[in-house]
Structure 1
């Protein structure tokens, strides 16, 4: 599906992956509604979109408020036109052992990181289904399939989004709808979230290595938006390894994560300024535009071959089979 001159909505657009996606999709003719809570980040995202020739519409809204989100969608359609693509990306979380997370914190993470996706999806469907047109992309994680220590609230929300998305997909297929929904599962990324999220770790939080730059995720999300026929996309070798490992050896993975998963998520560096965004945006007090990148630029990989192989999995499988056939023939001819 072509997205020339289309209306796009991105939640969580002020920083991190959402910010990188807004840049990736900002081509002349596109009209992009940028949704987030933080004013500084939204202003920066709007500037990025405008500089690239697209039309921005920044909107300050909390995705956990379904009434406000629906009203925002009405405003978007009045100003920009019918919504063609909706990308759910907004989230928050807490880094801590499960028994160190308060019930109200679990509730808030669930409201933003799970119900925010539900509300965004329902808001999009209410407008797309009558027109029998549109695409919804859920920005997910390898943790949608595999829970890890210190991120129980986030893992639970991503698991829930996965189950919700599968149900919606089946319902759309049942009514032969042309509305498509797909999910993109991501690896550890160098985004500002690790300086934003509430943490009770003894050291600063970090992504599980290897770490990738958010532009890799943005390119995969844009590809999924243009090719929503696939159920989901996996991004990064660690995502593939995690999902396969959880399918075939979950008990072994439990023990591995119990041994290595704690240190892997803590950085040997001085802590950044604490700006937890669970209850209010990190840039709500004019703390500056967060941008797309976090504090791990020197460690983050700027590219990954796995998404390219994933997009062309048929050709890759064919090449692998051809290579295997040539090797077999060569071995048969060898003395």
Structure 2
């Protein structure tokens, strides 16, 4: 039988590149073992070479519910029962809606939305307690042109997550389900996504490094947050969409496509929609590091909404500055830490790599 007593286990679906890859590295730094699910076998092999037996990998298309479920049970059997599951896999296409056929639209939806659904179902089938994090986007609040399928999927994840969170609370299961809404992030998405624009796509400024997003995700886990907003642009999107949605749409009609263009010629490159682009290495960063910010606000979404409801947009931004934080090492408030102990025992997320959990919390 495998030795499961030394390190807690996390699962990252979509963990071989981009934000998921940044999460893997941060979780490993904290001393966890990490199971990585992704399509590209070559990138998974790279991660094995780099991290050794601290990672467990499986080539899985997250749109395949049976394959994800099988992987989850194999992780529990071979690697240890996870207490963290992060759903980060996604696909998109930078294309006018009328140029996206039914098959392409479904492919994006099946991976981005149903992949998250499949991950939650698989996680709940093996997890006794812990945290599930669904990675969302500012585009769940304010959609942009030329990414209709992706925006629709992110909106769907928001509704699904809320319904499932309510069910978990009703059943009194000691599992926290969080949404982390991300800003534009410098990931390989903009290098390998299907593109029908006349220029190479870019993340719409302000752009943040993948590590900023990953710190937001770990902050959600550390604090058991219902929702976390990453980056000042998320505050602007929420305020704008709630207060002046008509003006936002008019502005996006004018500049929404322009800000997604990089002024670089579109590369003649295979995209990753139907198959993983095996020539691309396993890394978190894309090609826009020169404009990516390495720190950003991390704000509790519920606090942000209360600020908007009671104090308007100016108060929302102010509370984001005061109660958010520039991303750094994650930590618990005393109240949150106490709450988390009822689910996971001692605060092992902040423990050094050689920390041994008490026997009653080991599996």
Q: Provide, for residues 77-105 of structure 1, a one-character-per-residue CA deviation record: whole Å limited to 9, x for no partner.
A: 11111121110000101111111111111
Aligned to 1:6: 8
Task: Check if 1:253 corresponds to 2:245.
Answer: no
2:259 equivalent to 1:264? yes
Do the aligned partners of residues 310 and 93 (structure 1) sit closer, same or farther apart at CA in structure 2, a change above 3 Å counting? closer
Note if 1:45 corresponds to 2:47.
Answer: yes
**Consecutive unaligned residues in structure 2, runs of 5 or more:** 1-5, 308-317, 324-363
Q: Which residue of 2 aligns with 1:329?
A: none
* One of 220, 224, 233 as aligned partner of 1:224: 220
Cα distance in 1, alignment partners of residues 275 and 114 from structure 2: 17
Partner of 2:177, secondary structure, is strand
Structure 1 runs of 4+ with >4 Å offset = 308-314, 316-321
Render the CA deviation track for 1:181-232: whole Å, top value 9, x for unaligned. 001000001101111111111111111111111010011111212222x210
When structure 1 is superposed on structure 2, of 75-84 and 148-157 the one drifting more is 75-84
Q: Deviations over 1:32-82 (max 9, x none)?
A: 1011011222223334444xxx71011111001111111111111111111
Tell whether the 8 Å contact from 2:220 to 2:226 is kept in structure 1 after alignment. Answer: no
Aligned length: 306
Q: Distance in 2 between matches of 1:219 and 1:158?
A: 20
Tell me, in whole angstroms, the C-alpha distance in 1 between the residues paired with 2:300 and 2:84: 25
User: Helix, strand or coil for the counterpart of 1:233?
Assistant: strand
Deviation at 1:275, TM superposition (A): 2.8
Say which SS state the counterpart of residue 159 (structure 1) adopts: helix
Query: Which of 155, 158, 163 is matched with 2:154 structurally?
Result: 158
Q: Distance in 1 between matches of 2:274 and 2:284?
A: 21
Distance 1:124 1:319, change over 3 A: closer
TM-score, with length taken from structure 1:
0.86
Unaligned runs of 5+ in 1: 322-335
Moved more, 37-46 or 153-162: 37-46
Shift of 1:27: 3.0
Shift of 1:282: 1.1
Q: How does 1:111-260 map to 2 (within 5 A)?
A: 111-128=110-127, 131=128, 133-228=129-224, 230-260=225-255
